[in-house]
Amino acid sequence: MADLSKRPVFSRFDSATGEMTHTEATDAEWDQMKADDKAREEARAAEDAAELQRIADADSAKAKFIEMGLTEDEIAALGLV
């Protein structure tokens, strides 16, 4: 995650002139950067939640197999959890 507490400054080097220029991000660029960062955070949170749900589902399935009388080795042999 980028530090978006301050407006970023872009450095550009012109190889033809040898000049380095520094310009702040425009309002539109800065707003887009913040929106992109928020979208990345939301996507990461959704991926984390999906992974936690997958783990919970696997644990639940394993518990149900055990309740049906399967051993840990039999459950592992199924390759489902």
Considering only CA atoms, which of 74, 4, 81, 70 is closest in space to residue 35?
4
* Cβ atoms within 10 Å, residue 54: 10
- Dihedral pair phi/psi, residue 23, rounded to 5°: -135, 140
pTM over 0.85: no
Domain limits of the chain? 9-78
Tokens of 11: 């450095």
SS3 for 36-66 is HHHHHHHHHHHHHHHHHHHHHHHHHHHHHHH
pLDDT tens-digit readout, 8-20: 999 999 999 999 9
pLDDT tens-digit readout, 31-80: 999 999 999 999 999 999 999 999 999 999 999 999 999 999 999 999 87
